[in-house]
Chain A
């Protein structure tokens, strides 16, 4: 089982997002960066499949040179090989991202396709919900989104996805592609040997051309913030009667 996971480096905002003065990005001077959550879980899923079925896990990111931080992190939690597709810091629209990834994947694969390529369902920041599907279409491979469970059965990928009532099951012939959602796995923490290994990991670079698609970011804006006057019902146990009155008003009691 050779698996490729495509991940995105994103800022890790806390309770407030602050924009840069030119409204072209978010102010990351005081923020750390992380792997977009769905993709972090996809990496864990790939490592677990490798542990069960053998093979290798490759993690690829299209991003700025600093995205090496996320690639090294993925080595510390079990990835075997990491690939950087260098991109400048400007916003790449979904079509541009997908076509650059397709070129990079073809370059990595040569004549032997990955059995499975995993994406995140959508990135935490730009949330386009489409890059994995565009890549799959360009490569002519089956794809499903919203992957919440995965097993391998012979030459098929058995995927589950959540519905309101339970889940749906899909069976895709491999090579296949899927866009995973957080919750497919619980990511492990890096071990000390993993951390040491990640520092020595070689970063493969595959260049890509930026071919702009039809969507362009003009600027970012903050949604109109509702100013809420919070009613304090009380402190500690003495607030209980006030809470019960609220529950009655809402019609729950």
Chain B
């Protein structure tokens, strides 16, 4: 029987909000291949977090794996895949998922298709598959053929909803790999906490500014609105490159991809680089002098005009509310 393994990362026992997204396409694949579906996570701390999913699988345990260590994770999972003869390995394509899968695929000398949005055909010539994957951060897709006995795929984040836990506690077996102590050379040695509370990735509303804001000082009015609404300030690549905002505020393909309830884009024209970072927002309000700006035409709502004047009026209106 074909066995499918899904790697789910846990960070010292905690799952990220999107951690289980890759299970949704994995369930469909297991159905269509009539295959078994199993989980793997690293570290005993992950057991309690993953048991409620209800699938069987493995908790990988070893002293070198005491904290996130991409090389050691890759070696350990590659051993599990080989020993248990899995033929499909799937993970979410977030930072760690993409990294660990690349290590696994490199160790086993197999191809890895990154950021898949659809498994289109599993009955291609000579056991090959056809998949659809993300290019250009999501503004373009690629139909790709995957030729290998062992199939490695990462799933594009924010593409599938995470499945509801099915309630039954799946038996998770402990797997102890053989890994040399030397692989601790790429383990996390320290963590530094900067943000308390809201971040770009979690805020319900992001007030973002681009070229039209004009200067670092002019972001003060965006800060004021974000504070009033309980959100944070973001920015476009132009604002970062001009030194107006730190890169950690950048929304976009090479910055943070966000999905807030409302995205307020001020003076941002909406190049592809920016759009793919904000397109998952539930609602978009664009404020721009140019009614033809791409972001204005793609937004749900728009206000045409000078953003400084408009934001000042909006802030005054909010403050005047009873």
Contacts and interface: CB of A to CB of B under 8 A. Distances in A.
A143 B69 CA distance: 10
27 contacts: A14-B271, A16-B272, A17-B140, A37-B253, A38-B254, A126-B135, A129-B114, A130-B98, A130-B106, A137-B106, A162-B248, A163-B191, A171-B185, A186-B240, A214-B110, A220-B140, A221-B143, A230-B298, A231-B301, A231-B302, A235-B304, A236-B306, A239-B313, A244-B317, A246-B285, A250-B262, A253-B318
A64 interface: no
Contacts of B194: 165-167
Interface in A135-152: 137-138, 142-146
A214 B312 contact: no
Interface stretch (B24-32, B44-52, B80-88, B199-207): B199-207
Contacts of A130: 98, 101-102, 105-106, 112, 114
Contacts of A223: 138-141
Interface string B187-203: 11111111100010110
A217 interface: yes
A66 B197 CA distance: 47
B234 interface: no
A129 to B, nearest CB: 4
Nearest to A246: B301
Contact of A240 (B195, B237, B271, B313): B313
Q: Which 6 A-B pairs have the closest CB atoms?
A: A183-B247, A214-B111, A237-B313, A166-B194, A130-B102, A236-B305
Interface string B241-254: 10100111010011
Contacts of A240: 310, 313-314, 316-317
Residue with the greatest number of chain B CB neighbours at <10 A, chosen from A215, A236, A244, A253: A215
B248 A143 contact: no
A20 to B, nearest CB: 12
Interface in B135-175: 135-148, 154
A172 B317 contact: no
Contact of A129 (B143, B154, B246): B154
Given A186-B241, A214-B147, A137 B302 contact: no
Given A168-B190, A237-B310, A127 B135 contact: yes
A134 B275 CA distance: 30
Contact of B248 (A183, A228, A241): A183
B255 interface: yes
Nearest to A231: B301
A170 B71 CA distance: 12
B297 interface: yes
Contacts of B178: none
Nearest to A245: B317
A236 B314 CA distance: 10
Given A127-B136, A252-B229, A170 B189 contact: yes
B186 interface: yes
A130 B111 CA distance: 10
A167 B316 CA distance: 37
Contact of B189 (A171, A231, A232): A171
A228 B299 contact: yes
A171 B69 CA distance: 11
Interface string B109-121: 0111111000000
A26 interface: yes
Given A130-B114, A183-B240, A172 B199 contact: no
A108 interface: no
Given A93-B111, A127-B136, A164 B202 contact: yes
Given A38-B254, A243-B317, A236 B191 contact: no
Nearest to B137: A127
B230 A170 contact: no
Interface in A1-28: 13-17, 19, 26
Contacts of A134: 102, 105-106
Contacts of A203: none
A253 to B, nearest CB: 7
A16 B186 contact: no
B297 A228 contact: yes
A128 B115 CA distance: 8
B35 interface: no
A143 B111 CA distance: 19
B210 interface: no
Residue with the greatest number of chain A CB neighbours at <10 A, chosen from B102, B130, B229: B102
Contacts of A95: 111
Nearest to A236: B305
A59 to B, nearest CB: 19
Contact of A183 (B146, B229, B250, B318): B250
A230 B287 CA distance: 12
Given A172-B186, A243-B310, A251-B261, 17 more contacts: A37-B237, A37-B254, A122-B114, A124-B137, A129-B99, A130-B105, A164-B201, A169-B191, A172-B185, A183-B250, A183-B254, A214-B110, A216-B145, A222-B141, A246-B262, A250-B205, A252-B205
